[in-house]
Amino acid sequence: MATQTRKDTRRIIHDRIRKQIRGTAERPRLAVYFSNKRVYAQLIDDDQGHTIAQASTMEKALLADKANIATATTVGEAIAERAIKKNVTAVVFDRGGYKFHGKVKALADAARAKGLKF
């Protein structure tokens, strides 16, 4: 009998969340992903199937050595600024199967502080 890893469990939870939320052109989905070193955020229009804007710690301006609360905050601010440039003010938040605390909460709070509505 195989055991589930934490990654498998997060993926199952993420799939359950994705059944309920969907991004549109007026209100895209703000999807987040965290690896050990990187923080990624995307605004996705699920109707058209394309990414409206993205921000991650892979960029030179946001480059960081680890994924922590400080880097999540800078990525949250960056994605909010890019969303507002694209005339997007309201989003649906997709926490990606992660618990809503720590890095996830920091990213969401930073995006809200810059003007995005969830």
Nearest CA to 34 out of 50, 51, 56, 12 is that of: 56
H helix count then E strand count, the chain: 3, 4
Look at residue 3 in the predicted model and tell me its pLDDT: 87
> Following CA atoms 86, 91, 96, 98 in sequence, which dihedral angle do they give, to the nearest 10 degrees?
120
Stated pTM of the model: 0.91
102: left (phi over 0), alpha (psi -120 to 50) or beta: left
The full set of domain ranges for the chain reads 6-113
Sheet with 92-94: strands ordered across: 50-56, 39-45, 29-34, 92-94
- Span 48-100, pLDDT tens digits: 999 999 999 999 999 998 999 999 999 999 999 999 999 999 999 999 999 99
Is the CATH number of domain 6-113 3.30.360.10? no
Distance CA 18, CA 13 (A): 9
Cα distance from N-terminal residue to C-terminal residue, the chain: 41
pLDDT at res. 54 = 97
